[in-house]
């Protein structure tokens, strides 16, 4: 098994998350479960922070997939943005299972890596299904009422996880915040999600541009796929982040930049508020009811 990169991080994060949860009506705990496949020849035990509404449930559940920077601050606890999303989701009656895809594989962040070994099409998508498997075994989770939510690198993983041609299914709906769409739009067969999917992108995003995602959504709809996209004028990458002033990051890997380095990031409160509203309405529409008898079938 791959050893933890910073074993004390999880203790610090659990303390911070537990202290944070006392101000709200929910519970938090760290859990672990096996990844679906080995990484670099070794088995991996994934860590995840579960946010759970008080009471026995069962509750619908969402799996948030973090971006290329990972889910922790430099002090070792989940970022303000992920904690804010957890507050929002649990306040609406969802279990949220935030999966750490990086530290169990020996990495803190992969934003600056030129050659990445943790891939959106492989590890990130597979981690979504490893988390789904764990949630389906919990008595406080409503079976068949699970959704997927990702940001940036995790959003691209969300696209791959929802692809109709995957051998596994199980999510009722998914939301992807500013994913990279260029590579998946070139793959064959043409992209089509197996369940409702909405993409939320900033029109000023120079890291994962909106235009390829617009083209992907249009192609998916032509193929009969339930995919929509909303774009926000003037919004950059990470527009829904908390306390993130607009700035340029010169060292991040960016295949969409001619020099393949550097991108602009920063919050946009108006876009953030609208995206949160749309996300909650979208999941309320698709996860509120019990699934049909054949929903969530794997093939």
- Predicted confidence (pLDDT) per residue in 89-132, tens digit: 999 999 999 999 999 999 999 999 989 999 999 999 999 999 99
DSSP 40: T
Report how far residue 200's alpha carbon sits from residue 76's, in angstroms, rounded to the nearest whole number: 28
- For 121, phi then psi, to 5°, come to -75, -10
- Coil, strand, or helix at residue 58? coil
187 vs 155, higher pLDDT: 155
For 145, how many CA atoms within 13 A lie in the half-sphere containing its CB? Answer: 24
Task: Name the nearest CA neighbour of 112 among 22, 207, 227, 240.
Answer: 207
pLDDT in tens, 257-296: 889 999 999 999 999 999 999 999 999 999 987 766 554 4
The answer to whether 173 and 197 are in contact (CB under 8 A) is yes
| Residues 198, 173: Cα–Cα separation, whole Å | 8
What is the per-residue DSSP string for 239-251?
Answer: TT-SS---EEEEE
Q: Residue 28 pairs with which residues in a beta bridge?
A: 51
129, 161 Cβ separation under 8 angstroms: yes
Q: Does position 16 have pLDDT exceeding 70, yes or no? A: no
Strands 227-232, 197-202: pairing is: parallel
Residue 76 has pLDDT above 90, yes or no: no
User: What is the four-CA torsion angle of 207, 224, 288, 98, rounded to 10 degrees?
Assistant: -30
**Domains of the chain, earliest start first:** 7-287 (3.40.50.1820)
Spatial distance between the Cα atoms of 208 and 153, rounded to a whole number of angstroms? 9
């Amino acid at each position: 098994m791959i050893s933890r990169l910073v074993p004390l991080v999880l203790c610090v994060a659990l303390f911070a998350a537990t202290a944070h949860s006392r101000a709200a009506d929910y519970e938090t705990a760290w859990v672990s479960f096996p990844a679906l496949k080995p990484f670099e020849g070794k088995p991996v035990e994934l860590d995840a922070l579960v946010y759970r509404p008080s009471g026995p449930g069962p509750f619908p559940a969402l799996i948030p997939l973090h971006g290329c920077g990972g889910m922790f601050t430099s002090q070792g606890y989940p970022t303000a943005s992920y904690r804010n999303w957890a507050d929002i989701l649990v306040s609406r009656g969802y279990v949220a299972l935030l999966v750490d895809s990086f530290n169990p594989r020996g990495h803190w962040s992969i934003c600056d890596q030129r050659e990445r070994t943790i891939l959106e099409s492989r590890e990130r998508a597979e981690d979504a299904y490893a988390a789904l498997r764990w949630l389906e075994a919990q008595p406080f989770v409503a079976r068949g009422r699970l959704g997927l939510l990702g940001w940036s690198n995790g959003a691209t993983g969300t696209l791959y996880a929802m692809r109709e041609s995957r051998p596994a299914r199980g999510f009722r709906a998914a939301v992807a915040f500013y994913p990279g769409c260029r590579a998946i739009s070139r793959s064959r067969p043409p992209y089509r999600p197996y369940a409702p999917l909405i993409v939320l992108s900033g029109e000023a995003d120079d890291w994962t541009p909106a235009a390829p995602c617009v083209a992907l959504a249009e192609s998916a709809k032509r193929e009969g796929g339930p995919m929509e996209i909303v774009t926000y004028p003037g919004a950059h990458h990470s527009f829904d982040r908390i306390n993130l002033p607009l700035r340029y990051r010169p060292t991040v890997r960016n295949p969409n930049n001619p020099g393949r380095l550097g991108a602009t990031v920063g919050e946009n409160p108006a876009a953030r508020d609208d995206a949160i509203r749309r996300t909650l309405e979208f999941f309320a529409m698709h996860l509120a009811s019990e699934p049909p008898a054949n929903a969530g079938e794997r093939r």
